[in-house]
Structure 1
């Protein structure tokens, strides 16, 4: 089973202008009420609710609370550059199930996967990288890039126009 959200395996969805408006508004503030979204788009609150639910069901939209792990007690964060032998999807799926892994990217270039991890201590980070991730079948090499802090963390990039 893949650890990625539904709808992220390169499906092309047709969005109309209202969908784009809703996505842009929700990227800026995911807590907007359906009535506020309706006022901004000219739709009723019920029509907005139906569209937002469809966008969620299609895997286009997730409304979540975004946090900074470093401010929540996680003292160590790192990006791992991983090279794989064998089936990259199987290895990525296994890595995605490891506690402490917060995302996995299939990459192009000199590495196969980019993996972000968080830990409450250096000892825990060592455990995640050296005892859990390096032992996943298919993992050939792991290079670790420690974070000092998060400088830019952006989620409102807009929606691609027609």
Structure 2
């Protein structure tokens, strides 16, 4: 690739890094909203998150189109400029490494938020069971789906 092509790609990669950094802050704010159970804030954050994700998707499409216009095979797993040791190529590789780092961080934050949602769901289910008058020991099946309470099964069988 030429120096001018590296410059165009670097500009695009910087935009992608900024998008990923903003998405990271959105994930942090989402966790705060989940912890405080603020549904209005959570709804706003979800909309914002979807907007940033859509922007990143558009960034990816633009990057792919740019790489194709340079004649680079984008089907390979890692199409950074590994064989090129020019300073421009090294800078581009640094941007790619930073994008990969941000993506791994976002995967971790997404998993963390998913676990927070799951815990909240479990708490709500337990509260609903209490309100409905269900006793924990009256459950027929455990979390894994195995039989756990034979007394309740027996009374169901008699009915």
TM-score, length of structure 2 as denominator length: 0.26
Higher helix residue share: 2
TM-score, length of structure 1 as denominator length: 0.26
